[in-house]
Amino acid sequence: MSEKKNAKIVVVTSGKGGVGKTTSTAALGAALAQEGQSVAVVDFDIGLRNLDLMMGAERRVIFDLINVIQGNANLSQALIKDKRLENLYLLPASQTRDKNALTEKGVLQVMEQLRSRFDWVICDSPAGIERGAVLAMKHADIAVIIANPEISSVRDSDRIIGLLDSKTERAKKGQEVEKHLLITRYDTVRAGTGEMLAIDDVSEVLSIPLLGIIPESREVLSASNLGVPVPISNPASLPAKAYVEAARRLCGEDIEVTLPVSKKKLFANWFGGRAA
């Protein structure tokens, strides 16, 4: 990692918690690293420390983001190199320390250092519109807004878009943060019954381009229980393919977004539809 880089900083954000931010940070990070990019995933969710679990690195955490900010460790000491992908690193969050330890100046310094070392820096944001979420998005060039196809989730995303347009460094310079919508936990069966918002409605309401649609899948759950991001644990699965395509779109590839439907499910829906 000697050559100087100029990373794209991505924030993975949402208004509501539990929509799939941490899962998506880990999966997009892994997918980009599989494409040969150097990637750091950064946990801004101070106090929760979920990202290290999803990356399977919880036992290897010695120093964290706050240690680096407070000068108790340097960045190289705190970065944890992934055991499966050599260009993937994790900067973990602190579990116990005070959230106010995350200072604006400290975050700026860490982001500048990360920017010069990686191709991509992916920041996993805490939920909501509070200080922690604002700090996570502060230096972002790109925002991946996570929403589930439900009205409340979409409404909360709208508030996040407002923050991205007012509180970020880019906004202050009169520049835009590039925004993408990633729909997660998309359930084909429930979509068929009309319980969920249609994808077109979601992206129309938010009027930002769709980065991908990740299906609701047991593969994702078992991957997070194992501490292996789904593109690594089961690359052939539907959610892994959806994340890999989303990562390639982030890199600028023009790939059409399709609904993640397995042949088996399509068949079931078809018969279900005829019977109804």
Ligand X SMILES: Nc1ncnc2c1ncn2[C@@H]1O[C@H](COP(=O)(O)OP(=O)(O)O)[C@@H](O)[C@H]1O
Q: Which of 13, 14, 22, 38 binds Mg ion (CB under 5 A)?
A: 22
Residue placing its CB nearer to Mg ion in the complex, 16 or 117: 16
Using the contact rule CB under 6 A, the part of the chain among 20-28, 84-92, 136-144, 155-163 near ligand X is 20-28
Nearest alpha-carbon partner for 44 in 120, 121, 112: 121
Three-state secondary structure of 139-207: CCCEEEEEECCCHHHHHHHHHHHHHHCCCCHHHHCCCCCEEEEEEEEECHHHHHCCCCCCHHHHHHHHC
- 214 binds ligand X, rule: CB under 6 A: yes
Using the contact rule CB under 6 A, the part of the chain among 16-24, 75-83, 192-200, 259-267 near ligand X is 16-24
Residue placing its CB nearer to Mg ion in the complex, 50 or 94: 50
Our measurement of the distance from residue 35's CA atom to the centroid of its chain's CA atoms, rounded to an integer in Å, reads: 17
Q: Which of 8, 10, 22, 30 binds ligand X (CB under 6 A)?
A: 22
Q: Which of 221, 226, 251, 259 binds ligand X (CB under 6 A)?
A: 221
Residue 21: how many CA atoms within 13 Å on its side-chain side? 30
Residue 151 amino acid letter: I
Q: Which of 217, 233, 237, 244 binds ligand X (CB under 6 A)?
A: 217
Choose among Mg ion, ligand X, none what residue 19 binds, the Cβ cut-off being 5 to 8 Å by kind.
ligand X
Phi-psi region of 71 (alpha: psi -120 to 50; beta: other; left: phi over 0): left
Distance CA 248, CA 108 (A): 27
Choose among Mg ion, ligand X, none what residue 272 binds, the Cβ cut-off being 5 to 8 Å by kind.
none
- 21 binds Mg ion, rule: CB under 5 A: yes
Nearest alpha-carbon partner for 21 in 126, 162, 134: 126
Considering only residues 77-106, where is the footprint of ligand X by CB under 6 A? none
Q: Are strands 8-13 and 39-43 parallel, antiparallel or unpaired?
A: unpaired
For ligand X, what does the binding mask look like between residues 166 and 195, x meaning CB under 6 A?
Answer: ------------------xx----------
Considering only residues 36-55, where is the footprint of Mg ion by CB under 5 A? 50
Q: How far is the CB of 19 from ligand X (least distance, A)?
A: 4
- 13 binds ligand X, rule: CB under 6 A: no
SS3 26: helix
Q: What is the DSSP string of 68-111?
A: HHTTSS-HHHH-EE-SS-TTEEEEPPPSSS-GGG--HHHHHHHH
Q: How far is the CB of 24 from Mg ion (least distance, A)?
A: 9
Distance CA 187, CA 181 (A): 17
| Residue 268: CB atoms within 10 Å | 14
The total number of residues shown for the chain amounts to 276
Q: How far is the CB of 93 from Mg ion (least distance, A)?
A: 10
- 233 binds Mg ion, rule: CB under 5 A: no
- 240 binds ligand X, rule: CB under 6 A: no
Residue placing its CB nearer to Mg ion in the complex, 26 or 191: 26
Total number of residues binding ligand X (CB under 6 A)? 19
Interface residue list for Mg ion (CB under 5 A): 21-22, 50
Interface residue list for ligand X (CB under 6 A): 14, 17-23, 50, 127, 184-185, 214, 216-217, 220-221, 224, 239
